[in-house]
Structure 1
Amino acid sequence: MHRNEEPELRVIPARYTGRWVAAVVVVGLLGMLIYAMFTNDRFHWDVVGEYLFAPPVISGLGRTLLLTAISMVIGILLGIVVAVCRLSSNPILSTAAWGYSWFFRGTPLMVQLLFWFFLAALVPTIGLGVPFGPELLSIDTNSVISPFTAALLGLALNEGAYMGEIVRSGIRAIPPGQTEAAKAIGMSRLQTMRRVVLPQAMRVIIPPTGNETIGMLKYTSLVIVIGYSELLTSVSIIYSRNFQTIPLLIVAAIWYLAVTAVLSVAQYFVEGYFERGFTPTKGKKPSAPAAANQVPAVETEPTGARNETELEPTK
């Protein structure tokens, strides 16, 4: 072998033994679970198939989706208001927003649902009129606070407290220079928030909001305690009559999983929409401004080459 010749190197691929062992264990456990599910007659898959698309179940699913959608819309709007008030320089607004968030995040959701449902025990009538003055209209509380109204109030107000913190964190993630630049061109605080801050904060707000939406879908099952007939309540009414508890719970679980899968896909595309301009796309060339900012390569002479202007050493 010549002196300057380098020895041949052989590349040995890394062996991930632990990874493959873990994969085999997971596949084995999954296979055992599937085998047990489809060979155990006590699952009663025939009953699951019978009630999966039953009208009471589909009706309960529709009410679950309606309650989830309305609660999230109200919760998001409340969250934006709470976040803006929390960031306000007015101490009264910021303290009130903090108190709202502290109260509704600090008490269990089920307690809030029961409180709104039994509101008539505290306030028998709801009066409308001049503050500290004559009452112009009086409404019986029981006629207003139905199970649906109590469920909507409990879920939406509770969600507004959590969305307030999510929106506030998204707004605080935007550099202060953006707000200062908007003020420099004459934008008001509302215009700055609507046109500059919130559009950029959406990429931070959307992921936890998607998680909150999926969580809200499952939180609606808590309204069973106030008798609103959503998915879980409808299923429980059926199995209280035919005593097929496990098959009917499987029916509810299948529908929850199906809707969660749809929401997860929707969240993926919404996140991708608001990530535009922030995440570089693979395989694309840099844009013109980015290319213009690159430092051009400088050609250099090979080592040992003599510059034409170099002076010859004197003898």
Structure 2
Amino acid sequence: MDKALKANIKELIKSKRGFEFESFISELNLIQYGSDGFQPTRERKDDGAEGLILSTKTIIAAYGPDAFDERKFNKKVNDDFEDYLNKWSSDNPNWIMHYNNALAPTQLRVSNDLEKIAIDRGILTNHISIKGIDQIMHMIENEFSSIQQRAVAKLLGVPRELIVFDHVRNIIQDLISGHGIEQEVPEYKLEVDIEEKIKLNYTDSDVNHALEEYEDLNADGTLKKIWGILSTFQTEEINILKLRIKREFNNENGSFKEKLNTLTNKYALKYSNDDDDFFNYYIRSLLVYCFEQCMIGKKTSSES
């Protein structure tokens, strides 16, 4: 997950309070497990639980105070755990409390105390834990798919551009994964007359449209943003990406325009989970950037 996106998600979760945080935790589990895998409880009179993960028989609780108060924290945890022992534990041996901030060492040890309470009362449990914001972020980053991560970001109201940048990074990462370095490494940093290159690759009737598309992407800074994303990858990874796109582009049939459109649609279908013009715009921009960098299409005299 992109660092900027991760930081934004973390701060937005920490800002949730009270019922708003409890509702978020329910939605988070619905995103991860689906409506068939997670059963939320009622918002009020929830018997100390936000819901149940059906597959693991895990009761989910949540606590989102305005600020940390050790006495209130311990009371909330113990009250919810008491409800769990009395009303849920006989059928559900796992209990997790989610907390909207970082856990201090003393808070981390509370779960051990809770396990002892259950043992002393002769109640068999399997897993008891308290997850603070760092543990929640680890779960989102490592247990959620990229589609689920984007759903969490949208739920929290993360700026869309951050979501898109992370999505483009995931596309690039997928394209370079599992491919070794080939011996031929094309030159991608040649300066080229883009108008000449467009005229060389498009039919006369399509030249003006292609020029307008390129000028728009250049003027609004989108191509620079693509470069910014690519600049976070290592040189070898970028070479793999470019060779992969070149190979897939050359495997398509038709004119240059038809090949570019086919590859755009193929990537949009593979990487976009919904018909989202904003995501598709950046997929197209990635391919136009590769064209600008002289990797696909006929070469101009300066490239030869």
**Normalising to structure 1: TM-score of the pair?**
0.20
Relative contact order: is structure 1 or structure 2 higher (C-alpha 8 Å, sep ≥ 6)? 1
Normalized per residue, the structure richer in helix is 1
Task: Kindly name which structure, 1 or 2, has the bigger radius of gyration based on alpha carbons.
Answer: 1
